[in-house]
Structure 1
């Protein structure tokens, strides 16, 4: 940051809209923070319209850039008759003010349809219950935003209302000067009205972009919003490019000194930082008279006794103690108990569920019944799940039957209420085709050409790359409009378009969730979402629980029910025999239509080459047919070594320890972490940071940062440079496509279960698959044809006997299947 010197005034920008003010802001929140620091600003306020969706990104960038971030939002107040009343910006002074700001956004967003909001004057004067505490929006500083050019009578009424509602000590009159013809008249009116009502005047930029060069993009966003070409937008476009972060020299030449000084006054009175937010776990999960620590320990060991009826292995007990100690140190017990409570509800209701992802590294999760991967039979890395150095909460993903997940969601809402539970957001961004389409349409390019080009190019890396692709589409790259199209599309790529609903990530709080983060309506009825996505939650250390849907769980549960009916006794997942030879014979023959994960053509072509004969082979099979191992050049070396065509060798005992189970070839993310720890001297937390960089390197270029660290670390430990460079190349090959072993192991359990059921209970499996549609890789007709090839009799729909579901007629594993009514086509 530049010092406030050389006669330049200090300045804090108090009104900035990022691109989370959708189709208005033309810069990322991060760009605004970094640019403000470069210009030597004292502070910057990111104030998106009725939104805090971009504030976490700004917070992270501001901390890195060393500039103070003010947290605020902009509002347009609407009269009861729908006419505009006034506009203002609110900036949180402290944690209480932040909570009030977040609740006002929630009130405004949840009373209207998704994507809209309404704030009425009485919301701030005499708000209705339960929002009475929002009166005057206490602990927030208010900047009134006059129309341009300001009209004396209208601004006088607005200033009178604002001074009475908020108090003159917390309210400023905003002055925005953008080199327009009526700036002098506007400035004089603003000062006259402000003096009349005892308000100070403060300079604001009403910023829409971090640099002047984003003006064409801002015009394009306006055209997209209005659904017309830029040439037809007229006065809806900003008149010039002044709504960017201007230099302090420029500001000193435009604004009165007192208005600039007031920006520092506002900044000094605002001390709130997002780091102050603290997630408070639900506390009703622990029985009276005990603590979360004691209760988690008790439930874990009771579960361990059920998992290991012949005695808890010493290695498992050691792992449990290690995990419980770390969980206690990080105070995550209530989080584990919340997940445990949800899973326990599902199991009590007969809803099949299974945890996956990094949680499958945990012995505690296994003992609680959250996951099904036995840590005593695996060599997975717990630090992939939790470590002190990660500085962020664990992430537990639980799959539920897709046809019954709604029961679980409603249980969460019932138990914790809608004021305490909501889904995380997913930020829908511009992808290559939509960026090409919308920018081309805004430029007025022939819709036929726009549509053709968008369909032809599903990916590009830069405007230069897109220009080359345009040439392939027969466009002239020397034409200025084509060059502009490429530039705009490339800049638009990755811009947020709107907030959507995460597939199942719930945030559950002890108190009112809306005082932690704004909540708004989702497009789906009876759904609410917070304004932050999973990355925002991770950045602030806030916990979410993923309640996901998996079709195969529905199919397996239905198959087990049918088998139980046929046998006249319960038959459950744990009753499926392990390591069945006939099942592996079927798998090796690639006879896997309809089963989980290994049903695609790519998997089917791999099965006869890999020839799985035990469970861990399935874990490898799930992970190896992925872009990461393929792009990293790991598939063929592994297969050659497995088939005895190439010797298995290791450069050191340390590397052998990490790669022995996969014959010296890294297949899983955890193995990359282990190699970094064992061969390059990384700590567990550093290795996890490497994994995260791997996941984002294509977006952020984050892997090169680790090159020297990995190579030099391995050289210091006696490895030659060629091997060290090859390890880094493999890590880079993984990119964002490396598959975690814990995830693969969880999926492999369902692979084996579905294969065993298809092999030994083919009629029940077909019947269940048909009744679980839509799901899977194959259509119902393909499933029926495959079952017929395996000797299953299939009876047509008969209106006299068929019900909605398909059914089995008769007894035995080969009883004919009567198709249900949905199969009528």
Structure 2
């Protein structure tokens, strides 16, 4: 019998999609990045792939971003090939050329998650609509908020409450009995099918352990007994079989054992990988109805992350719309900042800024930052906006920054630009000892269901990779320490490992050491766990937990979302950075001492500018503890630079950076500044 005789997809006219791929955002379990699944799906000719991590959607945005990029590249290539006559007109809907035409394949990302309940039941959930996505996010939030950081405590009743508008693909119970199934599992099955009739299906997936034929038969019998449709999945935990060794290593790290001692926890083979339509057809050839049903459900799964519409808080106040309120506050601040009257130039700048802000509908964002800063000032907490917000007269008048931008040469469009189509990003520093007051105020004002800190994905870097992979591979602590001591040597001069190892007394020809080094290089960049962003807040008009799941942070009183800065940028979500700066605490204490001893009240805006005594101190490199110029490199450069004005300090800070130093800009600048060139 030829392969074409067993294919249930005649000429590949029906779509094959992977409905539950486990990525490395199921930390220390999945063996591939979400982006790698999308790339591999495009190459294999899959119509769609669902990234379904355990109780999480943390890696979905990365896959979504990659899928969009592939679609853009394919569209450009098709247009070019069509222009030069390499391909004909577009194929009819639903038809895919199955051979070389895979170069035009654009797989769709299916948002999903694998839910594991406390009662032992597992299911893959795929939102059908935007409402389904909201329900999924609230379900994960429910479980995450009921557990400590990194945990998820979900009950069956939670699934009943938040399972609407989703396809529920039930995993067969581990102790499956061909006739009856697991007794404790069946009551849940009956309740689910009554509650979500038509959306509950049984997932047919292999374990690649030699028992799949018996397992498939039992699942099919269970589906027939309870009139449930079967859908097929290859259940990959890696995009390619070459990741088997790394996957076993991650498992050993998770379990705290050596790879040699994994036993049944190790991968039996390299089969648990993403499958092509042809491979899937052979894998499930005895169950063509499962393959056909898998193709059919794609028509129900219309939701895409592109449908997410981030709604910033409207910031309405006493019936005043955001535009009128921002204009009023800006001009009130103008009178406050310029008691003797603003110049014509400043008035022209503020009007230009207000018009551009209104055109881009960013008024609520500026109002949120104003309200947070106003709260801090009402409590006597020193704060200061940083970065390109200093280019804005509006920010100066709202009290976000304390230096008038008219003294500089930067333009407002460096901060907010219609051409760049990027949202503004206002970073505000607060006294580090009192920032928590501001953070808790935001939670109290908006509610924890509307506000949360961004996540930061902690990735494997050199030292952690050497330490954890080395222990999993059974290296001694002495060997691990020796490898760590050569960290920068290894990762800055790849290919010279043998020489480096010889220098520290290690045998580079040892097979285990060679395997360990290969795995260390491979694991670099893998996500290890989620941490919290230093201060990036996401605030929404509606429920944040219907946009993205919320979970507990390790710090008491903090809640975070599972997406990081790059993810929210990709989706066009605004954040407000509430940062901590120790120097502001020092300045506050200095203000208090000046007030107590000299009776003079200073603010950041009223400090005497260009104090010669300060520049004399800097020219002597007496800058220990002075923010931005306290490093050894800065202290070495200050006597040569001899700053005498604020702009000199701007150059001072900017030029002592890796780029200018490696580009040999420092010495030519000094010579030209001194008139030597």
TM-score, normalised with respect to structure 1: 0.73
Task: State the partner residue of 1:180.
Answer: 209
Task: State the partner residue of 1:237.
Answer: 266
Q: Deviations over 1:759-792 (max 9, x none)?
A: xxxxxxxxxxxxxxxxxxxxxxxxxxxxxxxxxx
Q: Deviations over 1:238-293 (max 9, x none)?
A: 2111111122221111113221222222221111111211222223x332232111
Q: How far 1:466 sits from its partner (Å)?
A: 5.0
Q: Deviations over 1:596-638 (max 9, x none)?
A: 2222221111111111111111111122222222122221121
Distance 1:347 1:467 in 2: 59
The reply to whether residue 75 of structure 1 matches residue 115 of structure 2 is yes
2:520 is paired with a residue whose SS is: helix
Q: Deviations over 1:563-612 (max 9, x none)?
A: 11112343333443221222211211112223222222211111111111
Task: State the partner residue of 1:803.
Answer: none
Task: State the partner residue of 1:192.
Answer: 221
1:376 is paired with a residue whose SS is: helix
2:32 is paired with a residue whose SS is: coil
Task: State the partner residue of 2:40.
Answer: 35
Task: State the partner residue of 1:724.
Answer: none
Contact 1:205 1:243 in 2 (8 A): yes
> How has the CA–CA distance of structure 1 residues 60 and 577 changed in structure 2, closer, same or farther, with 3 Å as cutoff?
same
Contact 2:173 2:185 in 1 (8 A): no
Q: How far 1:159 sits from its partner (Å)?
A: 5.2
Distance 1:258 1:426 in 2: 43
Distance 1:438 1:210 in 2: 23
1:633-652 matched pairs, under 5 angstroms: 633-646=664-677
Match of 2:62 among 57, 66, 85: 57
Q: Deviations over 1:64-112 (max 9, x none)?
A: 2232111111011113xxxx2x111101111100000001101111101
Contact 1:467 1:486 in 2 (8 A): no
> How has the CA–CA distance of structure 1 residues 111 and 345 changed in structure 2, closer, same or farther, with 3 Å as cutoff?
same
Distance 1:506 1:399 in 2: 13
Distance 1:638 1:532 in 2: 42
**386-395 or 69-78: bigger deviation:** 386-395
Q: How far 1:314 sits from its partner (Å)?
A: 3.3
> How has the CA–CA distance of structure 1 residues 487 and 147 changed in structure 2, closer, same or farther, with 3 Å as cutoff?
farther
> How has the CA–CA distance of structure 1 residues 569 and 479 changed in structure 2, closer, same or farther, with 3 Å as cutoff?
closer
Q: How far 1:23 sits from its partner (Å)?
A: 0.3
Task: State the partner residue of 1:26.
Answer: 31
Task: State the partner residue of 1:161.
Answer: 188
Task: State the partner residue of 2:449.
Answer: 419
Contact 1:8 1:252 in 2 (8 A): no
Q: How far 1:356 sits from its partner (Å)?
A: 0.4
1:14 is paired with a residue whose SS is: strand
> How has the CA–CA distance of structure 1 residues 102 and 591 changed in structure 2, closer, same or farther, with 3 Å as cutoff?
same
> How has the CA–CA distance of structure 1 residues 33 and 600 changed in structure 2, closer, same or farther, with 3 Å as cutoff?
same
Task: State the partner residue of 2:146.
Answer: 111
Distance 2:118 2:174 in 1: 18
Match of 1:618 among 649, 665, 673: 649
Distance 1:60 1:462 in 2: 32
The reply to whether residue 201 of structure 1 matches residue 230 of structure 2 is yes
Task: State the partner residue of 1:744.
Answer: none
Distance 2:347 2:186 in 1: 68
Match of 1:438 among 464, 468, 472: 468
Contact 1:159 1:197 in 2 (8 A): no
> How has the CA–CA distance of structure 1 residues 51 and 311 changed in structure 2, closer, same or farther, with 3 Å as cutoff?
same
Task: State the partner residue of 2:597.
Answer: 566
Distance 1:369 1:176 in 2: 59
1:532 is paired with a residue whose SS is: coil
Distance 1:390 1:482 in 2: 49
Q: Which runs of 5+ in 2 are unaligned?
A: 1-8, 71-105
> How has the CA–CA distance of structure 1 residues 200 and 157 changed in structure 2, closer, same or farther, with 3 Å as cutoff?
farther
Match of 1:337 among 367, 370, 391: 367
Q: How many residues are aligned here? A: 628
Q: How far 1:296 sits from its partner (Å)?
A: 0.9
> How has the CA–CA distance of structure 1 residues 463 and 444 changed in structure 2, closer, same or farther, with 3 Å as cutoff?
farther
Task: State the partner residue of 1:301.
Answer: 331
Contact 2:175 2:182 in 1 (8 A): no
> Relative contact order: is structure 1 or structure 2 higher (C-alpha 8 Å, sep ≥ 6)?
2
Q: How far 1:381 sits from its partner (Å)?
A: 4.0
Q: How far 1:480 sits from its partner (Å)?
A: 2.7
Distance 2:496 2:550 in 1: 39
Distance 2:500 2:451 in 1: 46
Contact 2:452 2:539 in 1 (8 A): yes
1:172 is paired with a residue whose SS is: strand
Q: Which runs of 5+ in 1 are unaligned?
A: 126-132, 647-825
Q: Deviations over 1:345-400 (max 9, x none)?
A: 11121111000022222222122111223221111243332223434322111000
Task: State the partner residue of 1:509.
Answer: 540
1:355 is paired with a residue whose SS is: strand
Task: State the partner residue of 1:410.
Answer: 440
Q: How far 1:465 sits from its partner (Å)?
A: 5.6
**525-534 or 477-486: bigger deviation:** 477-486
Match of 2:124 among 86, 89, 96: 89
1:378-527 matched pairs, under 5 angstroms: 378-458=408-488, 460=491, 464=495, 469-527=500-558
> How has the CA–CA distance of structure 1 residues 579 and 111 changed in structure 2, closer, same or farther, with 3 Å as cutoff?
same
> How has the CA–CA distance of structure 1 residues 93 and 377 changed in structure 2, closer, same or farther, with 3 Å as cutoff?
same
Q: How far 1:155 sits from its partner (Å)?
A: 4.5
Q: How far 1:178 sits from its partner (Å)?
A: 4.3
Q: How far 1:481 sits from its partner (Å)?
A: 2.1
Task: State the partner residue of 1:695.
Answer: none
Q: How far 1:559 sits from its partner (Å)?
A: 0.8
1:573 is paired with a residue whose SS is: coil
Q: Deviations over 1:705-756 (max 9, x none)?
A: xxxxxxxxxxxxxxxxxxxxxxxxxxxxxxxxxxxxxxxxxxxxxxxxxxxx
1:213-292 matched pairs, under 5 angstroms: 213-255=242-284, 256-283=287-314, 285-292=315-322
2:117 is paired with a residue whose SS is: strand
**348-357 or 324-333: bigger deviation:** 324-333
Distance 2:124 2:497 in 1: 39
The reply to whether residue 548 of structure 1 matches residue 579 of structure 2 is yes
Contact 1:92 1:272 in 2 (8 A): yes
Q: How far 1:469 sits from its partner (Å)?
A: 4.0
Q: How far 1:300 sits from its partner (Å)?
A: 1.4
Distance 1:369 1:77 in 2: 49
Contact 2:137 2:549 in 1 (8 A): yes
1:613 is paired with a residue whose SS is: coil
Contact 1:463 1:487 in 2 (8 A): no
Contact 2:138 2:545 in 1 (8 A): yes
1:206 is paired with a residue whose SS is: coil
Contact 1:391 1:541 in 2 (8 A): no
Task: State the partner residue of 2:635.
Answer: 604
**397-406 or 376-385: bigger deviation:** 376-385
**211-220 or 597-606: bigger deviation:** 597-606
Contact 1:42 1:264 in 2 (8 A): no
Q: How far 1:461 sits from its partner (Å)?
A: 5.7
